[in-house]
Chains A and B, each alone.
Chain A
Amino acid sequence: MNIMMLLEMAASGCPERVAFVDPEIDASISYQELFDAAGNMAAILRATDAVRFAMLDVSNIGIPIGLFASGWAGIPYVPLNYRLTDPEIENLLDRITPAYLVTEPERVAGFHDRKGVQVSSRTDFVALARETAESPDAWSMDPEDTAVLLFTSGTTGAPKAAVLRQKHLVSYILGSVEFMGADEEEAALVCVPPYHIAGIAAVLSSVYSGRRVVQLANFSAEKWVQLARDEKITTAFVVPTMLSRIVEELAGATNADMPHLQSLSYGGGKMPLSVIQRAMELFPGTDFTNAYGLTETSSTITVLGPDEHRLASASDEEDVQRRLVSVGVPLPGIELEIRDEEGAVQPAGSRGEIYVRGEQVSGEYEGRGSVVDSDGWFPTRDAGFVDGEGFLFIDGRADDVIVRGGENVSPGEIEDVLLEYPAVSDAAVVGMPSEEWGEAVVAAVVISDEATTEQLQEWVKEHMRSSRVPERIEFWDELPYNETGKLLRRVVKERLA
Chain B
Amino acid sequence: MAALAAGKRLKSAVCATEIMIIAAPDGDVELECGGAPMTDGEGNTGGSVDANYGEGTALGKRYVNEDGGLELLCVKPGDGSLSSGGEALKVKDAKKLPKTD
**Residue positions of A touching B, CB distance < 8 A:** 1, 5, 8-9, 12-13, 141-143, 166-167, 170, 174, 176-181, 198, 201-202, 205, 209, 235, 237, 263, 265, 267, 287, 289, 291, 299-300, 303, 305-306, 331-332
Contacts and interface: CB of A to CB of B under 8 A. Distances in A.
Interface string B70-101: 00010110000000000000000011111111
A192 to B, nearest CB: 8
A1 B95 contact: no
Contact of B75 (A8, A201, A332): A8
A169 B20 CA distance: 15
28 contacts: A1-B6, A5-B20, A12-B59, A13-B60, A141-B7, A143-B6, A166-B7, A167-B6, A174-B62, A176-B97, A176-B100, A177-B97, A178-B94, A181-B94, A198-B101, A235-B99, A237-B101, A263-B98, A265-B99, A265-B101, A287-B98, A287-B99, A289-B99, A299-B100, A300-B101, A303-B97, A303-B98, A331-B97
Interface centre among B6, B75, B96, B101 (most CB of A within 10 A): B101
Contacts of B99: 205, 209, 235, 263, 265, 287, 289
Nearest to B73: A174
User: Size band of the B side of the interface?
Assistant: 20 to 34
Nearest to A180: B60
A267 B101 CA distance: 9
A142 B101 contact: no
Contact of A12 (B76, B94, B96): B76
Interface of B: 5-9, 20, 22, 59-62, 73, 75-76, 94-101
A2 B5 CA distance: 14
A170 B75 CA distance: 13
Contact of B98 (A5, A170, A265): A265
B100 A300 contact: yes
Contacts of B62: 174
A111 B22 CA distance: 42
Q: Which of B94, B95, B99 has its CB near the most chain A CB atoms (within 10 A)?
A: B99
Given A141-B7, A263-B99, A332-B95, 15 more contacts: A5-B20, A9-B59, A9-B75, A12-B59, A12-B76, A13-B59, A178-B94, A178-B96, A180-B59, A202-B101, A235-B99, A263-B98, A265-B101, A291-B100, A303-B100
Contacts of A263: 98-99
Nearest to B22: A174
